[in-house]
C-alpha cells in the first residue's frame, strides 16, 4: 500500500520527509509504549562492584521516559481529533496496512488519515 498524501485541496499537506517521519512514529507506537513500561518496571543492576566513571542512570532514565511519554501523548491526542467511528480503521490502516472498511468512502478515510498525521506533527512540535 502506498503512503500517499492528497495533493489538491489539502490544508493538512506536509512535506514528504516530515509526513513519512510522523507515519513511522505512529507505526512505532506499540514499541514506544513497551519501552516506556520497561523503563518504569526495571530496576538498576546491583553487582556490588563500584563503577568508575561519571553517570547518573536515574536521570538518563527520567529523560528517556519523558521523551517517550511526550511521543505517546502526542499520538493519543492526535487520535482524539479523529471521529470515533474512523479511529480504528485509520489506526489499523497505518499500523497494519489493513484495507479500510466499506461503511464509509475511501476518500473520507484518507482525509482523516492525513489530518491525523498532521495533528501528530503539530503535537510533536514539528510544524
- pLDDT digits 0-9 by tens, 52-111: 556 777 888 899 999 999 999 999 999 999 999 999 999 999 999 999 999 899 999 999
Residue 5 lies in a domain: no
Q: Who contacts 17 (Cβ-Cβ below 8 Å, separation ≥6)?
A: none
Residue 48 lies in a domain: no
Model pTM? Answer: 0.87
To the nearest 10°, report the CA torsion of 105, 107, 113, 115.
-120
Residue 3 lies in a domain: no
The tally of domains found in the chain comes to: 1
Residue 34 lies in a domain: yes
Residue 7 lies in a domain: no
Which residue segment(s) compose the domain that 33 sits in? Answer: 16-41+57-123
- pLDDT digits 0-9 by tens, 35-46: 999 988 887 666
Lookup result for grid cell 482525509: 111
Amino acid at each position: 500500500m502506498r503512503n500517499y498524501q492528497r495533493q489538491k485541496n489539502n490544508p493538512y499537506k506536509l512535506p514528504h520527509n516530515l509526513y513519512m517521519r510522523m507515519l513511522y512514529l505512529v507505526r512505532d507506537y506499540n514499541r514506544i509504549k513497551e519501552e516506556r513500561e520497561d523503563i518504569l518496571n526495571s530496576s538498576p543492576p546491583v553487582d556490588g562492584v563500584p563503577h568508575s566513571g561519571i553517570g547518573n542512570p536515574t536521570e538518563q532514565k527520567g529523560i528517556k521516559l519523558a521523551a517517550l511519554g511526550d511521543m505517546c501523548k502526542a499520538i493519543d491526542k492526535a487520535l482524539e481529533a479523529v471521529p470515533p467511528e474512523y479511529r480504528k480503521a485509520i489506526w489499523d490502516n497505518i499500523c497494519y496496512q489493513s484495507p479500510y472498511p466499506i461503511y464509509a468512502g475511501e476518500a473520507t478515510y484518507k482525509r482523516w488519515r492525513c489530518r491525523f498525521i498532521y495533528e501528530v506533527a503539530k503535537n510533536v512540535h514539528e510544524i
